[in-house]
């Protein structure tokens, strides 16, 4: 059984920074893609950033240049460094992984950016 636990969310003023972390627990070896998604009230869940096992990353246009995704393959963790946060970044952020052809999701962590 694979479990994902996010941490690092909170309340921050516009222009501030937060770093989200996601830990994968259980018997996990060689996780494939690791991603961050977000869902704002009334909106559909959207992809924010993704990183492959080899470290290749991709980002939504709305966060390019402000967010950085990274991973630690030894610790089975994925991170999202968020800089220059904007009120429109307010959402619940979820991490997601693909492992042995199955998709797993965390419970989410709230990020609120005040103007």
Using CA atoms, how far apart are residues 46 and 81, in angstroms rounded to an integer? 17
List the single range of 86-90, 93-97, 98-102 with lowest mean pLDDT: 98-102
Residue 85 — φ and ψ, nearest 5°? -65, 145
Question: What digits encode the pLDDT tens for the residues 22-77?
Answer: 999 888 888 999 999 999 999 999 999 999 999 999 999 999 999 999 999 999 99
* Number of Cβ within a 10 Å radius of residue 81: 15
What is the distance of C-alpha 63 from the center of its chain? 12
């Amino acid at each position: 059984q694979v479990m994902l636990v996010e941490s690092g969310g909170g309340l921050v003023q516009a222009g501030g920074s937060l770093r989200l972390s996601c830990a994968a627990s259980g018997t996990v070896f060689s996780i494939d893609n690791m991603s961050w998604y977000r869902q704002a009230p009334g909106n559909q869940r959207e992809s924010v950033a993704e990183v492959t096992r080899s470290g290749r990353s991709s980002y939504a246009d709305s966060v390019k240049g402000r967010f950085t995704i990274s991973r630690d393959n030894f610790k089975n963790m994925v991170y999202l460094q968020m800089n220059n946060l904007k009120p429109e970044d307010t959402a619940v952020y979820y991490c997601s992984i693909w492992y042995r052809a199955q998709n797993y999701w965390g419970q989410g962590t709230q990020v609120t950016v005040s103007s």
